Amino acid sequence: MWRTLLIASVVMSGSANAQSPQWPMFRGENASGLGEGSAPIRWNAGTNEGIAWKTAIPGIGHSSPVIWGDLVFITTAVSSDSAETFTPAAARGASVAESRPQQSWRIYCLDRQSGRIVWQRTAHEGVPKIGRHAKASHANATPATNGRQVVAFFGSEGLFAYSLDGKPLWSRDLGIIDVGYVGQPEYQWSTASSPLLYDGLVIIQADAQQGSFVAAFDVESGREVWRQRRDELPSWSTPVIAGAGSRAVLVTNSPKFIRGLDPRTGRELWRVADGAEVKVPTPVAAQDIVVVSGGAPRGRQFYGIRPAESGDRRNDEVDRLAWTVEKGGPYTPTPIVTGDLLFVLADNGVLRAFEVQSGRLLHQARVPETGGAYSASPVSAAGVLYLTSEDGEIHVVRAESRFELIATNAMGEILMATPAIGGGMLIVRGAQHVFGVRGSGSGKVAAAMPGV
């Protein structure tokens, strides 16, 4: 009865109350990384200071939490080998393709207020069809929800949809999606691109060693609406929507080309050649610019692109580009735009601030840290940035054109996933637990910052 009442209240509040916390996909609304309202500033998981709850989640998963009202959704892959783990410091190319113990791919629903497990479902069980990077998991992709359905993408194991109360709705087998190091099939790194829900569609980007495609499925039935096959190399980037209404463009970040597609049909509208490998960061749509980054070699150039649909794919790419920054692009973390500022966090902890319209560098500084590794992407609320290190610390930094560290908060375990923000809370996924963080000092920084 408690579970039924909780889910019913969440569905009603999600449709009737615009203030109901919503962080519906990887990095929130359209992957922007921006939360609304107050957010915690200081806490310590070791002493439980500022920690509302802490819930153990079995298995290995680097997917992020998503929020709809008082529900939190997260995925994981539970191995039959209790000793199976991941290696944060694994070298480039390292994979565990040879050893594949049986896995149970699961989705969990938690109560945002208490951390209590509302329900959990097993989407698939079996031996993984491809291996994973030694640093990664078999559950890298973040689920997505629209307040009626929640969708989980497990790569080669399929695409699964549930109602908010855990009822299985449909599933799709999308075949083998072999994502790994280009030209070396022995290096299998597993998928990470997360689903995007848009206008009644579930959109999936599946760039692989062979058979790359982008496809859209009806969220109610799972019926395939369109599929765009393309000659591409493996990527781990999540697609986003730039613009709105008839001018909406689906932007995908892939090694050969950055593309703009019609989200309703999959038709290619434009492309910008890049020629990189290992594309991980998600595009960031802000104002009339889409910031696209990532790829090897590390620290390479990145772009501000005008995504408007006008013109065709043969138009001059020079006209499509608003600006190019020649070096300093992130390898793994997705950048973030707050107001007129673009923040780019490198994997080694160097944070750079740019003008989003011009690409002009305003400052750069190294974030204080103990190990210097960042896989999670920055998120922001109430005038601050949250920078999540693999070492288990979350640094709170002012979202300004000058660097100022406000607080460093210890979580007590390895952090690979990007946090979610909602209802004055930070939902943090660690290696063993999901945390509900209320913290102390919530909203004080924003109040002290004119114009925020």
What is the predicted pLDDT for the residue at 441? 59
191 falls in which pLDDT band (50, 70, 90)?
Answer: very high
- Give, in order, the Cα–Cα distances in Å from 338 to each of 31, 123, 380: 13, 36, 8
Give residue 33's domain range. 2-447
Average pLDDT score over residue span 337-351: 96
Give dist(CA 384, CA 239) in Å, integer. Answer: 25
Number of domains in the chain: 1
Q: Is residue 279 in a domain?
A: yes
Quickly list H helices, 169-224: none
Q: Is residue 452 in a domain?
A: no
Question: At residue 341, does pLDDT exceed 60?
Answer: yes
Residue 2 tokens read as 């408690």
Q: What is the pTM of this model?
A: 0.91
Which CATH number goes with the domain that contains 283? Answer: 2.130.10.10
Give the model confidence (pLDDT) of 415-438 as tens digits: 999 999 999 999 999 999 999 999
Question: At residue 12, does pLDDT exceed 60?
Answer: no
372 falls in which pLDDT band (50, 70, 90)?
Answer: confident
| CA nearest neighbour of 138 among 92, 104, 161 | 104
Question: At residue 452, does pLDDT exceed 70?
Answer: no
Question: At residue 75, does pLDDT exceed 90?
Answer: yes
Average pLDDT score over residue span 140-169: 98
Contact 389, 373 (CB under 8 A): yes
181 falls in which pLDDT band (50, 70, 90)?
Answer: confident
SS3 393: strand
What is the predicted pLDDT for the residue at 14? 47
Average pLDDT score over residue span 187-191: 89
Range among 124-138, 176-190, 364-378 with highest mean pLDDT value: 124-138
Q: Is residue 307 in a domain?
A: yes
Q: Is residue 39 in a domain?
A: yes
What is the predicted pLDDT for the residue at 311? 47
Which residues touch 51 (CB under 8 Å, ≥6 apart)? 43, 44, 45, 435, 436, 437, 438
What is the predicted pLDDT for the residue at 1? 53
What's the length of the chain? 452
Q: Is residue 31 in a domain?
A: yes
DSSP string, 285-335: EETTEEEE---BSTT--EEEE-----S-TTS-HHHHEEEEE-S---SSS--
